[in-house]
Amino acid sequence: MIELKDVIMEYPGHRALDGLCLSVPDGQVYGLLGPNGAGKSTTINLITGLLQPTSGRILVGGIDVTAEPERARGILAYVSESVALYPLLSGIENLQLFSRLAGRHLNRRECSECLDRAGLQGDAHERRVGTYSKGMRQKVGIAIALAKEARAVVLDEPSSGLDPSASHDLSTHVRNLASDGLAVLMATHDLFRARETCDSVGLLVNGGLRAEWKASEVKDRDLEAAYLDIVSDHSSAAAAGSTK
């Protein structure tokens, strides 16, 4: 489970998150939507422990990220928009390396299995990652999460730049992660993919969660219209506030 309780994050002269409360239960995929500058990246950096909140608590699998960052990181995986790997190593070698760093010594067969589970074609396992497409690198990212036996995964704009087929593929594998009991938080701009992949969707604007919908509700509403309404209202309010 990923939980954020009354999280405030302030940068000099700017409040990025304003009492954010959010919860992602195990076995569920949560889609975090929001315009640029809404606070999505800050939220992810806080969950991954790269930033420390000004106040509030962040829990991953019940572990306080601020108090016990290393234990929290031990059960958390991260897949970025463009998964960064060592281009001169093969898929298996990258997986082996990152697993070893996480304290798990996998042999080549186990690595191969993980890559298979993440959907990477067998003939690509031994190829250098420098030759991979973006989608293939994301599959290696997912394999790293699987190999780590993480209990929570954070995905940052995973479908950005992928073709529809690769994007669909990715959705399937993200859903598989949730089926395995992992709590999955996915920050995205892609409303269609969020609606297709997630169990719940939250809309983050100006550092606060302005709306949340269950998957069933999302399908019943016009998500795009709701998104635009809420973002537009809050942008106008923010502009008025700054004018005053």
**Interface with another protein includes 132 (CB under 8 A)?**
no
Tokens representing 90? 């093969």
**Interface with another protein includes 151 (CB under 8 A)?**
no
Q: Which residues contact 228 (CB under 8 A, 6 or more apart)?
A: none
Q: Which residues contact 185 (CB under 8 A, 6 or more apart)?
A: 2, 24, 30, 32, 44, 47, 152, 153, 154, 155
Alpha carbons 208 and 10: distance in angstroms, whole number: 13
Tokens representing 139? 């599959």
**Interface with another protein includes 77 (CB under 8 A)?**
yes
Measured from the CB atom, is 99 or 188 closer to another protein?
Answer: 99
**Interface with another protein includes 100 (CB under 8 A)?**
yes
**Interface with another protein includes 1 (CB under 8 A)?**
no
CB of 15 to another protein, least distance (A): 18
Query: Considering only 17-25, 100-108, 159-167, 201-209, which stretch makes contact with another protein by CB under 8 A?
Result: 100-108
**Interface with another protein includes 80 (CB under 8 A)?**
yes
Query: Considering only 11-19, 95-103, 158-166, 216-224, which stretch makes contact with another protein by CB under 8 A?
Result: 95-103
- Looking up tokens 């699998």 gives 61
> According to CB under 8 A, which one of 56, 74, 161, 208 is a site residue for another protein?
74
> According to CB under 8 A, which one of 97, 191, 211, 230 is a site residue for another protein?
97
> According to CB under 8 A, which one of 21, 89, 191, 215 is a site residue for another protein?
89
What separation in angstroms does the CA of 160 have from each of 4, 74, 114, 214, 226? 25, 27, 23, 23, 22
